[in-house]
Structure 1
């Protein structure tokens, strides 16, 4: 997978005006398994109440299902759980907590965007 992303990064650097029209196929099983492995197990569970450990119990089946939904364009992110954390003594900062599967997809999209734009990208899925 890194080779494909490296090639995309190379093309994006050589041809800044290049338009990438077909990157969806890169969100495949290999990439999504890699994204799952990179996610921190100590993060809060989302609206689905699924942790990394729980998702791993049927990892192959879960990732295969996710890939299939992505291919059929049937994947739909779940609502984000809104939490507020203290910003300073007087104010609170909103924090959106994603469902675990949505974190995996966002990590994959972030990798694709980083390859194209060459820097950290924040991926927001708006429902």
Structure 2
């Protein structure tokens, strides 16, 4: 968890979440509000993450129209949860597959 909460990893995670944009989750906090929210909540959030007490928020469900008619459900996590997921993914991905390139493609065997 210390590696995940490394300042450089968190900066990169914030940068990626901001670049991906996206709608607010159930808490109504937008991507543009995330940096200020993190400044206010970081000590408590970090403590909860390190202690294993962090609980993700429920996912907001929206219906997205399909081109051929009908709809499909889309789940929208809060931006805080997306930020944490991104930070975790960056560390795990570098450990699981350090040679994987974003342009790599593997066919199922």
Instruction: Tell me the TM-score normalized by structure 1.
Output: 0.64
1:113 Cα deviation after fit: 2.9
1:94 Cα deviation after fit: 1.6
Name the counterpart of 1:26: 3
Name the counterpart of 2:13: 35
Name the counterpart of 1:79: 58
CA distance, structure 2, for counterparts of residue 68 and residue 33 of structure 1: 18
CA distance, structure 2, for counterparts of residue 107 and residue 113 of structure 1: 10
Which ranges of structure 1 fall in alignment gaps of 5 or more residues? Answer: 1-23, 121-127
CA distance, structure 2, for counterparts of residue 62 and residue 33 of structure 1: 16
In structure 2, the CA distance between the partners of 1:80 and 1:119, relative to structure 1 (3 Å rule), is farther
List per-residue Cα deviations over 1:70-111 (Å, max 9, x = no partner). 001110000001112122222322211001110011101221
RMSD: 2.2
Name the counterpart of 1:48: 27
CA distance, structure 2, for counterparts of residue 69 and residue 99 of structure 1: 17
Quick check: 1:85–1:95 contact (8 Å CA) kept in 2? yes
Quick check: 1:81–1:97 contact (8 Å CA) kept in 2? yes
Instruction: State the SS of the aligned residue for 2:92.
Output: helix
Quick check: 1:27–1:67 contact (8 Å CA) kept in 2? no
CA distance, structure 2, for counterparts of residue 105 and residue 61 of structure 1: 16
Instruction: Tell me the TM-score normalized by structure 2.
Output: 0.73
Name the counterpart of 1:103: 82
1:47 Cα deviation after fit: 0.3
In structure 2, the CA distance between the partners of 1:55 and 1:95, relative to structure 1 (3 Å rule), is same
